[in-house]
Amino acid sequence: MKLIPVRHSAMGSIWMCHLFLLLSILCTTFIATMANNATDSYLLLKVKSELVDPLGAFSNWFPTTQFCNWNGITCAVDQEHVIGLNLSGSGISGSISVELGNFTSLQTLDLSSNSLSGSIPSELGQLQNLRILQLYSNDLSGNIPSEIGNLRKLQVLRIGDNMLTGEIPPSVANMSELKVLALGYCHLNGSIPFGIGKLKHLISLDVQMNSINGHIPEEIEGCEELQNFAASNNMLEGDLPSSMGSLKSLKILNLANNSLSGSIPTALSHLSNLTYLNLLGNKLHGEIPSELNSLIQMQKLDLSKNNLSGSIPLLNVKLQSLETLVLSDNALTGSIPSNFCLRGSKLQQLFLARNMLSGKFPLELLNCSSIQQLDLSDNSFEGKLPSILDKLQNLTDLVLNNNSFVGSLPPEIGNISSLENLFLFGNFFKGKIPLEIGRLQRLSSIYLYDNQMSGLIPRELTNCTSLKEIDFFGNHFTGPIPETIGKLKDLVVLHLRQNDLSGPIPPSMGYCKSLQILALADNMLSGSIPPTFSYLSELTKITLYNNSFEGPIPHSLSSLKSLKIINFSHNKFSGSFFPLTCSNSLTLLDLTNNSFSGPIPSTLANSRNLGRLRLGQNYLTGTIPSEFGQLTELNFLDLSFNNLTGEVPPQLSNSKKMEHILMNNNRLSGEISDWLGSLQELGELDLSYNNFSGKVPSELGNCSKLLKLSLHHNNLSGEIPQEIGNLTSLNVLNLQRNGFSGLIPPTIQQCTKLYELRLSENLLTGVIPVELGGLAELQVILDLSKNLFTGEIPPSLGNLMKLERLNLSFNQLEGKVPSSLGKLTSLHVLNLSNNHLEGKIPSTFSGFPLSTFLNNSGLCGPPLRSCSESMVQGKIQLSNTQVAIIIVAIVFTSTVICLVMLYIMLRIWCNWRKVTISSAEGGGTVGHKTRNGEYWNMNSFGFIPSPDKQNSATTTSFYNLKMETMENTNM
């Protein structure tokens, strides 16, 4: 009996030991669990500390609460391990913590669609249980860590839409369970890894929008379960591998916008599950395989923008699921197959634009009643549109532009009630717009420009109240703009330019309050601008040029604050144009050739984006506003043909983008400022017909892009600056009618692109530089007339083979006309008159008029007198000195002869007196008897007795006496 208590006591001790052991185990487990929980909580808080949380994604992440209840946290069933972290789209930023690598139980990590930056931590490769990793749509950078290949259980890897660089690591081939690999929209390069074929379970491969190059690996055929392969917008090259035909599960194949070449492999026809095939924008050539007709699941097929040729072999009767077919931008020929389409088709979009298709409008298409969008533009289709076009009752877009269609528009087009966009421009359509067009209540755009249509614009068109765009440019429409145009409340674009429209602008147009672009230029419209235009608050562009509009600009137009482009040129507008200057958005204002008057409004300077300002050919007065210096975007300034006065404001030097300055034909004065040399973009400078004075600033030589420099008809003086040679792009240089002096600078030979050079009516001196002969592009004219040039014409001018006009008149040139000038076969105007030229004119110049050579006394040859006649007349003209000597000799000789004759006459008279006195004294008779008994009158001088030999019978004749006397005198 005593043994019983002992046994009971022993049993109690054993029980107590077991209880203690159990409590110890429970305690240990509890402590371990608490420690583990404390570690995960601590690590998660460390992850949180590296992130910025503006939207409160971590609002309940506190140490005092159970972390399994925190936002974005998923725990295992035992509530002891974190198996999911999802903070997608939480607005967090910062970097991904390396501490995430310690969550070894993690199966899902989704931080996508945030603003995370930095690199992807390589520590993520420690997450051996991870199945889903999504980091897409962040700002992550750097390379994809190769350690990511350690995630052997990973099924989904989406890290695209980041700024990742480098290559796709080959280690991705180690993730044998991978189903989704999405790396698109990054900056990755390199090639697709050959090991990609090891991913037997891969369903989706997305690497689009990167810079991946190289070939598509043949090994891709190993991805037997692949359904989606998107590699568009990369740099892939080479042929499409035929091995892709083994991807029986493939549904989507997108290889658009690469550099793939070769032909389309027929093996693609084996992809029986393919629904989407996009090969646009590559370098594929050859014919489209007819085998593609076996892809009966195909819904969208795009082969556009390649070099494919041949006919169209694809038939919608076989591709019964096809909804979209895009073959645009190839070299396809022929027409659409006759059996292309049958009733019951699902085809909705057919785009065949920009090929070489021809023939009549393909009636086969009328069987595709499901078609919504039809684009046959930019081909060679011809003929008339079929009247049964209205069989396409679902048509929303009819695009037939840039073909050779003729005839008129069929009235039946008004029966296609679904039509929204009608593009028929660039054809040869004639006739009127059918009135039935007014039935198209859904019509949004109608483009008929560049046709030959005529007649009135029908009022019925304004019944299409959904119209947003009307473009009838370049036709022959006549009559007025419909008065009911204001019914088109949604109209955004109205383009009626280059027609024969007449009459005024309907006031109702002001009620088209959505109008943004209004182009009425090149018509015969008249009248004034309706005040209702003030309602067009959305108007950004208005062009009315080349019409007959008149009157002042309504002041109400100053409320149009959105205007960017205004062109009212070549009309009859008058008064101030101030209302057009109140929009601060102006980029172009052209009011050329009107009758605007008054000063230029300084409010124009508020349009800081103004690029083109053309106010030429008006009656503007006053000075150029100094506020124009605020127009830093100005590149074209035309103030020509006005009555502007004063100086050019120096503030214009702020317009560094200036390319054209036209201020000619005004009354501007002062000196040409040196700041013009700071306008590096200046291509044209015309200051002609003003009152500018002083020298041409040498700084102009800095305008290296200058093409035209016109400073003629001013009061400029001094020498032409040497820096003119720096203008190596110059085409036109016109400095005529000034007071320039000195030499033509030899640096002008550097202006090798000159095709027009005018330096006439100045005071230039010296010889014509031989360097001018190097300006081989001179074509329009070389005019050096009315200067003070001396010396000879340089033979080098004969090198100007393109020259059409040469004027060297009214100078002091001398010497011969160089024979080399005769080689100028393009020359049709020549003027060498009023110089001192001599010698024979080159025979090739014989066809020029006489005025070409006038007042050059030494020139001869056609059209002047012949050179042989000239030599006979004067043995070539004597010099001035020789002429003077000859004249003096003639005068001297004549004087001597006269004196001798006077002496002889005096001697004769004296002898006669002696004879007379002697006879009188002797009482003899006046006559003498000769030997023959004849009597001679003494006064006849028949015989005169010698005074020295009066008794001699010998007589001396008067002739002999005269000669003797002269001989004695000459001695």
The DSSP element (H or E) to which 883 belongs, if any, is helix 880-922
pLDDT of residue 444: 98
Domains and CATH numbers, the chain: 564-866 (3.80.10.10)
Q: What percent of the chain has pLDDT over 70?
A: 86
Q: What value does the mean pLDDT of the chain take?
A: 88
Report pLDDT for 255.
98
pLDDT tier for residue 96 given thresholds of 50, 70 and 90: very high
Look at residue 33 and tell me whether its pLDDT is greater than 90.
no
Q: Which residue has the higher pLDDT, 479 or 949?
A: 479
- Confidence at residue 943, expressed as pLDDT on a 0 to 100 scale: 30
Long-range Cβ pairs for the range 649-657 (8 Å, 24+) = 649/623, 649/624, 649/625, 650/675, 651/626, 651/627, 652/624, 652/628, 653/629, 653/678, 653/679, 654/629, 654/630, 655/628, 655/629, 655/631, 655/679, 656/632, 656/680, 656/681, 657/611, 657/632, 657/633, 657/681
pLDDT the model gives residue 333: 97
What pLDDT digit, counting tens, does each position of 333-355 carry?
A: 999 998 888 777 899 999 999 99
Average pLDDT, integer, range 11-37: 41
pLDDT mean over 167-184: 97
Cα 85 to Cα 103: distance, rounded to the nearest angstrom: 10
Q: What is the mean pLDDT of residues 536-544?
A: 97
**Residue 37 CB neighbours (<10 A):** 17
| Residue 853, pLDDT score | 95
pLDDT tens digits along 207-259? 999 999 999 999 999 999 999 999 999 999 999 999 999 999 999 999 999 99
Q: What is the pLDDT of residue 965?
A: 35
64-78, 404-418, 704-718: which has the minimum mean pLDDT? Answer: 64-78
- Predicted confidence at residue 898, as pLDDT, reads 65
CA atoms within 13 A on the CB side of 176: 1
pLDDT of 808 over the 80 cut: yes
Residue 871 has pLDDT above 90, yes or no: no
Predicted confidence band of residue 287 (pLDDT cuts 50, 70, 90): very high
Residue 149 near residue 172 (C-beta atoms within 8 A): yes
pLDDT in tens, 685-702: 999 999 999 999 999 999
State residue 921's pLDDT score: 37
The alpha carbon of 552 is separated from its chain's Cα centroid by a whole number of angstroms, namely: 35
For the cut 70, the answer to whether the pLDDT of residue 423 exceeds it is yes
Reading the block at residue 647, the tokens are: 């100086």
338-364 burial, b if ≥16 CB within 10 A, otherwise e?
A: eebbeeebebbbbbbbbbebeeebbeb
* 178 pLDDT higher than 80: yes
Question: Average pLDDT, stretch 390-399?
Answer: 96
- Distance CA(873)–CA(647), nearest Å, equals 61
Q: Which two tokens stand for residue 654?
A: 């702020």
Residue 32 has pLDDT above 50, yes or no: no
Residue 637 in this model has a pLDDT that exceeds 50: yes
- The arithmetic mean of pLDDT across residues 817-838, rounded, is 95
- For the cut 90, the answer to whether the pLDDT of residue 110 exceeds it is yes
Task: Report, as an integer, the average pLDDT of 108-117.
Answer: 97
For 54-84, b/e burial (b = at least 16 CB within 10 A) is eeebbeebeeeeebbebebbebeeeeebbbb
pLDDT in tens, 911-923: 645 544 343 333 3
Q: pTM of the prediction?
A: 0.79
Write the pLDDT tens digit of every residue in 588-634: 999 999 999 999 999 999 999 999 999 999 999 999 999 999 999 99
Mean pLDDT to the nearest integer, 763-786 = 96
pLDDT above 50: residue 12: no
Reported as a single tens digit per residue, the pLDDT across 54-66 is: 999 999 999 888 9
Residue pLDDT, tens place only, 145-158? 999 999 999 999 99
Q: Which pLDDT score, from 0 to 100, does residue 278 have?
A: 98
What does the pLDDT look like over 724-744, one tens digit per residue? 999 999 999 999 999 999 999
Share of the chain above pLDDT 90, in %: 81
Q: What is the dihedral of CA 303, 309, 311, 317, to 10 degrees?
A: -20
Q: What is the pLDDT of residue 874?
A: 45
